[in-house]
Amino acid sequence: MSSRVDTFARSMPTATAARVRRATRLVADKRMPTLSSVFADPEAARTAAADTKRYVLDNLHRLLLEFERNAIANGIQVHWALDAAEARETIVGICERSAPKWSIVAKAKSMATEEIHLNEALFKAGYPPVETDLGEFVIQLDHDTPSHIVAPIIHKDRFQVARSFERAHVGPYTQVPTELALQARHYLRKQFQASKIGVSGVNFAVASTGRIVIVENEGNNRLSTTAPDVHIAVMGIEKLLPTEDDLALFLPILAGSATGQQITTYVHMVTGPRQGAETDGPREVHLVLLDNGRTDAMASEQRDILKCIRCGACQNICPVYRAASGHGYGHVYGGPIGAVLAPSLDFAANRELPFASSLCGACEEVCPVKIPIPDMLVDLRTKSTAAGSWAMFATGATNPNLWRAGLALTPWLGGIGAKASGWAEFRDPPKGQGDFRRWWRERA
């Protein structure tokens, strides 16, 4: 197992582990009954969803341009960002042009903004973001990070939330969940009223109409995208669907896989800014299309990971995730999806994550778009091992002193390794073959 995950799993308090196990099981158990209640044949629905996302990837270039054309026609201002830094710069630039310094940014839950570390950039630029999703709000109060792509505070219980609210003067200590929700609602309402800019993610973008689709259960997304004067949406370039008809499949398959709901409480279809005499809605809508390694992933063997619709079902079912929680992976995307996506977007920084899996195959079985996660993990492990061996060889082979030391120490280290691993229990440890350089010198 990866040292990162292994270390965390062993150090994670038992109570936290129990909370994560309980919550993930609860949602995982609701997945199949819900999907069966919506689709006559849930397996056929998964196949259709996988085929649609494959079509999107096969035609990504054309669909992106079609989407951009239609979105611009709707009045959405489209920005392309090659990497996280460019995305942050674009968003901060929009804030600076649209609102005075120290204006509040109402922020809805978005993994893309977590990926680009937007909050730090907004704080630094003088546009304090306020997380308005209940879970993300708690994360922000606690200076914590999300541990699940759908349920960011899956590792916390209501008592911890109550203590956080009391500490941050959101409200007096209470153990009643509805009272905690009301405290947050009351506190956040004022933030919405004061905010000049709203930031959100995107669940789907429809190429044929140029509309973006956002799903949620709390209503904070609706307020973040409609109350402020300016709405900035951030979206990975793979989130496209060809037409709005595809939503009939993707909305319920996402909700069923993510939270065991037939459909989320809210589905927002954002067409563009307010028009003519309309008094509601933002004056400007911006969309940042984020690459950040996705084009490279498209050209790799892990291309299919870009079919992911961020439902979190693979996290809920994964025995490693259940033991380690999302924090153990050390990346915003934890669990099976993270073990493939993180190294696909940045291999050098995350090449040990593919080892954080038992390869039991449960993730592939629940994935609504049938991503072959275990096969990808094996490929990435091979790549990671090869990269490690070659990196070690290259360092040694290009440094004469290291090479000589390596030659001298190899038989000795090999012997120790063979004994320590138990390999030598039934075998003779390998013997050194002598120093070739000395042999060559003596004969030259």
**Residues near ligand SF4 (CB under 6 A):** 257, 308-314, 337, 366-369, 371
Q: Which is nearer to ligand SF4, 121 or 306 (CB)?
A: 306
Comparing CB distances to ligand SF4, the nearer of 94 and 249 is: 249
Q: What minimum distance in Å lies between the beta carbon of 293 and ligand SF4?
A: 16
Residues 6 or more apart whose CB falls under 8 angstroms from that of 75 comprise 272, 273, 275, 285
Select 33 or 126, whichever has its Cβ closest to ligand SF4: 33
Cβ proximity to ligand SF4: between 135 and 368 the closer is 368
**Least distance from C-beta 150 to ligand SF4, angstroms?**
8
C-alpha separations of 24 from 126, 150, 323 in Å? 37, 11, 11
Cβ-based neighbours of 210, under 8 Å, separated by 6 or more = 67, 68, 69, 70, 71, 72, 73, 74, 76, 271
User: Measured from the CB of residue 372, what is the shortest distance to ligand SF4 in angstroms?
Assistant: 10
Helices assigned H by DSSP within 39-171: 42-58, 60-73, 84-98, 111-115, 118-125, 134-141, 158-167
* Strand blocks (E) in 244-355: 266-270, 284-290
To ligand SF4, the closest distance from the beta carbon of 337 in angstroms equals 4
Select 205 or 337, whichever has its Cβ closest to ligand SF4. 337
How many residues would you count in the chain?
444
CA atoms of 61 and 56, how far apart (whole Å): 9
- What minimum distance in Å lies between the beta carbon of 78 and ligand SF4? 25
Angle subtended by helix axes 134-141 and 158-167, to nearest 10 = 60
Minimal distance in Å, beta carbon 29 to ligand SF4?
A: 16
Residue (of 123, 119, 44) closest to 87 by Cα position: 119
Whole-angstrom distance, CA of residue 265 vs CA of residue 218:
7
Element (H, E) at 184: helix 177-194
* Of residues 261, 275, 363, the one with CA closest to residue 318: 363
Q: Is 89 exposed, middle or buried (0-12, 13-18, 19+ CB in 10 A)?
A: middle
Min. distance of Cβ 28 from ligand SF4 in angstroms?
11
Minimum distance, C-beta of residue 157 to ligand SF4, in the bound complex (Å): 24
- Shortest Cβ 149–ligand SF4 spacing (Å): 6
Nearest by Cα to 333 from 299, 379, 302: 302
* Least distance from ligand SF4 to the Cβ atom of residue 308, Å: 3
Return the number of the residue (99 or 258) whose C-beta is nearest ligand SF4: 258
Residue type, 38: V
Of the pair 24, 191, the CB lying nearest ligand SF4 is at 24
How far is residue 153's CA from residue 150's CA, in Å, rounded to a whole number? 9
Nearest to 106 by CA among 186, 223, 216: 223
For ligand SF4, give the closer residue by CB, 64 or 306. Answer: 306
Integer CA distances (angstroms), 192 to 110, 187, 197, 353, in order: 17, 9, 9, 38
For residue 254, the minimal CB distance to ligand SF4 (Å) is 8
Whichever of 6 and 364 has its CB closer to ligand SF4, that residue is 364
Closest approach, Cβ 341 to ligand SF4, in A, equals 8
Residue partners of 260: CB distance under 8 A and separation at least 6: 27, 29, 30, 31, 33, 34
Nearer to ligand SF4, 66 or 114 (CB): 114
Q: How are beta strands 284-290 and 197-200 bridged, if at all?
A: unpaired
Could you tell me if 312 and 304 are in contact, meaning their C-beta atoms sit under 8 angstroms apart?
no
Tokens of 36: 């069966």
Q: Which is nearer to ligand SF4, 35 or 105 (CB)?
A: 35
Residue (311 or 377) nearer to ligand SF4, CB: 311
